[in-house]
Amino acid sequence: MIEIIPAIDLIDGKCVRLAQGDFARKKVYHENPLEAAKMFENEGLRRLHIVDLDGAKRGKVTNLKVLETIAANTNLTIDFGGGIKTDEDVKAVFDAGAKMASIGSVAVKEPEKFFAWLEKYGSEKILLGADVKGKNLAINGWQTETKVEILPFLKEYFAKGVTHAFVTDISKDGLLQGSANELYAEILREIPALKLIASGGVSKIEDIHELEKIGCAGVIVGKAIYEGRIRIDELGMMN
Indicate which residues carry an active-site annotation.
9, 131
Return phi, psi of residue 237, to 5°: -70, -25
Residues 6+ apart with CB under 8 A from 105: 56, 59, 85, 139, 140
Cα torsion 123, 127, 132, 136: sign:
negative
Spatial separation of the C-alpha atoms in residues 37 and 32, rounded to whole Å: 9
Spatial separation of the C-alpha atoms in residues 42 and 112, rounded to whole Å: 40
Nearest to 165 by CA among 189, 207, 193, 134: 193
Spatial separation of the C-alpha atoms in residues 191 and 67, rounded to whole Å: 32
